[in-house]
């Protein structure tokens, strides 16, 4: 569990409180990881194995068959070591991890129907632990009315909480900022129905 149940309850309460003042919808997702990146260790291992013959040919008199065996052994050992999760996530290019996490955030936005809310006012607050990535995605109904700075501030609040190992505080702060801007531009209607569950989803 990434976030304790008590903190999940706090986040749910923050969403419910924010949505009392707006017809918009706020949804939160936290992911342990957005990809396994299992091909990355293989690429690194293959690169190391391809480079190995150069020093062996230059500095030794080993026959080609022994060099080939050494290449295979290096590939297998390197692939096994680099596949250890604690190591693997340090050799994946940051850009690739962020692209994967962004793609997952978009999938979550669509999968939970935030693009189908009344007046297109759904907001997703998303964070991924392994990728060290966070994002706030707002639907087109509110993006057109709100400057990017507002979403940047909500994102900064989320990141600050996560950086201090208080992810729940970060989510609550981001929810409050998003709720305030939603209330300003989309006050509650006559029915103000709740279209999405008021909770944090872990994936």
Partner residues linked to 137 by β-bridges:
124
Kindly state the helix (H) or strand (E) to which residue 88 belongs, with its residue range.
helix 85-91
* Predicted local confidence at residue 145, as pLDDT: 87
Q: What is the pLDDT of residues 121-148, one digit of tens each?
A: 899 999 999 999 999 999 988 888 888 8
* Predicted local confidence at residue 1, as pLDDT: 60
pTM of the model: 0.86
Distance CA(182)–CA(18), nearest Å, equals 9
Give pLDDT < 50 ranges for the chain: none
C-alpha distances (whole Å) from 55 to each of 60, 79, 177 are 8, 20, 58
SS3 of 168-186: the string is HHHHHHHHHHHHHHHHHHC
SS3 of 104-144: the string is HHHHHHHHCCHHHCHHHCEEEEEEECCCCEEEEEECHHHHC
């Amino acid at each position: 569990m990434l976030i304790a149940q008590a903190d999940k309850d706090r986040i749910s309460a923050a969403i419910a409180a924010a949505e009392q003042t707006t017809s918009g919808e706020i949804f939160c997702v936290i992911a342990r990881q957005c990809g396994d990146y299992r091909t990355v260790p293989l690429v690194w291992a293959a690169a190391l194995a391809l480079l190995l013959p150069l020093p062996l040919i230059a500095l030794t008199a080993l026959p080609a068959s022994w060099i080939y065996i050494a290449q295979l052994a290096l590939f297998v050992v390197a692939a096994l070591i680099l596949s250890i999760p604690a190591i693997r996530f340090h050799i994946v290019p940051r850009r690739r991890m962020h692209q994967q996490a962004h793609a997952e955030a978009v999938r979550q936005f669509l999968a939970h129907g935030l693009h189908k809310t009344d007046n297109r006012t759904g907001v997703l607050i998303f964070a991924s632990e392994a990728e060290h990535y966070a994002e706030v995605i707002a639907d087109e109904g509110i993006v057109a009315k709100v400057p990017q700075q507002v979403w940047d501030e909500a994102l900064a609040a989320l990141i600050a909480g996560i950086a201090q190992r208080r992810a729940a505080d970060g989510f609550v702060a981001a929810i409050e900022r998003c709720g305030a801007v939603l209330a300003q531009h989309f006050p509650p209607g006559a029915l103000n129905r709740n279209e999405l569950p008021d909770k944090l989803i872990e994936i």
